[in-house]
Amino acid sequence: MAETLQDQGARQAITDDLHQNMMVLAGAGAGKTHALVGRMAAWICTGQGEAEDLAAITFTRKAAGEMRARFAARLHEAAGQGDQEAERARRALTKLDRCFVGTIHSFCGQLLRERPLEAGLPADFGELEAREEGRLRRVAWDRFVQQGHLRGDQGWRQVEEMTLQAGQPGMVRLMNLHQAKGLQARVVCLADPCDTSAGRHQVEFHVSRTGPRPFLSMRVTRPRGPHAMEVIGEPAGWEEDAREEDRFLGAEELRLLYVAATRACDLLVVSCYEGKTDAGPWAALYPALEQVPPLPNYDPPRPARAPSATWDLAALARQRQERRASVQQPSYQIPPRLGEGTGYGALVHRVLGAAVEGRLPDDPGVYLEFMLEEAGLPRSWRLKLEQVLQTFRTSALWAQVQAAAAVHTQVEFAAPAGPDLGVRGVIDLIFRVAGGWKMVDYQSETTAVGAVLEAGVRVWQELAGELVVERGVWHTETGVWQEF
């Protein structure tokens, strides 16, 4: 006979009380996702609404993908029946793509894209990816350090020794299990295998968690020597309370073990000592590790110890200042960026870039008016922009972009162009084709374009290590492709 959970009534209410707002508090592994998916499916099958009326928000993309898969599986299960609820489930499956299941970032981004004018945002804005966020943080930190040097603040060496490397690739974060809740990493190491502190202490108090009213039960003790406690008094029923609390603590240890074992995306490393297989927080995992090969020993190279010497701190400080002054001098004269355009031309670049990245709606009229106003251009140019966009979207070039395996837009670059001259520009569009890459420069007026194409091709081939096999200009006003 299946055991009835003590909180079964609360779990059942999640799927039954569909007209009641609820907040579910539970630890990792308690079944929150399962309960939420059950409530979503029940809401559909009982006719409370349609799939497009639902929104399920998670913290990570991985959790969102798992929730969407579970929701689809639950609907498929309900659709296999022969009643009216099955018909509703089948109808929901045909509209599953209209049901929002995603992160809070993507949900807020969707809301803002529907109302960019009210939010005061450009119509082609995008969410900041983790890699770009890290780059911007490093740029801001470098600028902050540089400003401190220019002000001559005292104690700047200590500030400069601080770092923003935590969380960046190649870094290791040390944390306990409670800090790791909700986080994931590619590689997770479970350390400290012989920490048995949880098993060395008796139950000190009990909190009733299942009765109609919670209460606290605890015994009174006092120290007796450095490592012993004397019991002064115990409440009635303490032995039963202690046994129940001990069962709860055991379940809590198992829940934390689940948290530990599910933080890794690619590799989980469990540390253990030879001969100790029945103690420690990871002991329950050891039987499953018997067929897992151990990691090979790694002896990291040790730098040679420098001979003892007396350091001239004043000379080192002068050398440091000289190096800093030398790197602050520009090594190239950087002209304005090539191929970016100004005014209307720059706006055309933004519109076509947003179209390629899928950030424009099917009917972009209101967005184009907003972008024109933001650029200080007449709204009456909307029809002109719409024609440019329509010509681009119905071209053979657009079809090639849609079929490409990799597409990049608005790629900024800078490179040396001579002994004392640099060049910088923007690659408007580059995408993968057979044998390499195809580079496109948008041109809204008749100007020389050879410089930006030539520089962009050279930089891209050096960075990607692959050939640019096609290059040319897309004349935005005429819809003509000109190959170079």
β-strand pairing of 436-443 with 421-433: antiparallel
How is the chain split into domains, by residue range?
8-111, 177-289, 344-483
Give the H or E element holding residue 115: none
Give the per-residue pLDDT at 340.
Answer: 39
Please write down the long-range contacts of 320-327, taking CB distance under 8 Å and 24 or more positions apart.
Answer: 324/149
Q: Which whole number is the average pLDDT over 458-481?
A: 86
Which residue has tokens 């590689």? Answer: 187
Per-residue confidence (pLDDT) for residue 155, from 0 to 100: 58
Cα distance between residue 411 and residue 460, in whole Å? 10
DSSP string, 373-434: HHTT--GGGHHHHHHHHHHHHTSHHHHHHHH-S-EEEEEEEEEEEETTEEEEEEEEEEEEET
Q: What is the pLDDT of residue 313?
A: 82
Structure tokens at 208: 């009733």
CB atoms within 10 A of CB 228: 8
194 neighbors 280 (Cβ within 8 angstroms): yes
pLDDT at 347: 85
Most confident of 64-68, 191-195, 324-328: 64-68
pTM > 0.95: yes or no: no
pLDDT band at 339 (very low <50, low <70, confident <90, very high): very low
CA distance 10 to 25: 11
Q: pLDDT-based confidence at 438, cuts 50/70/90?
A: very high
For the domain made up of 8-111, the CATH class stated in words is alpha beta
Helix (H) or strand (E) run with residue 39 in it: helix 32-45
| % helix, strand, coil for the chain, step of 5 | 45, 15, 40
Q: Is 270 exposed, middle or buried (0-12, 13-18, 19+ CB in 10 A)?
A: middle
More confident residue, 317 or 337: 317
**Mean per-residue pLDDT for 257-275?**
84
pLDDT in tens, 19-72: 888 888 877 677 888 889 899 999 888 888 888 888 888 887 778 888 888 888
| Dist CA 218 CA 207 (whole Å) | 9
Mind listing the pLDDT tens digit for each residue in 230-259? 888 888 888 888 888 888 888 888 888 888
442-445-446-449 Cα dihedral, nearest 10 degrees: -30
Q: Is pLDDT at 156 greater than 60 in this prediction?
A: no
DSSP 304: P
Backbone angles phi, psi at 351, to 5 degrees: -65, -45
Rounded distance between C-alpha atoms, residue 255 and residue 284, angstroms: 12
Q: At which residue do the structure tokens 């870039």 appear?
A: 353
Residue 194 pLDDT class (50, 70, 90 cuts): low
**Could you tell me which residues come within 8 angstroms of residue 56 by beta carbon, excluding any fewer than 6 positions away?**
36, 40, 64, 67, 71, 99, 100, 101
| Domain boundaries 344-483, corresponding CATH code | 3.90.320.10
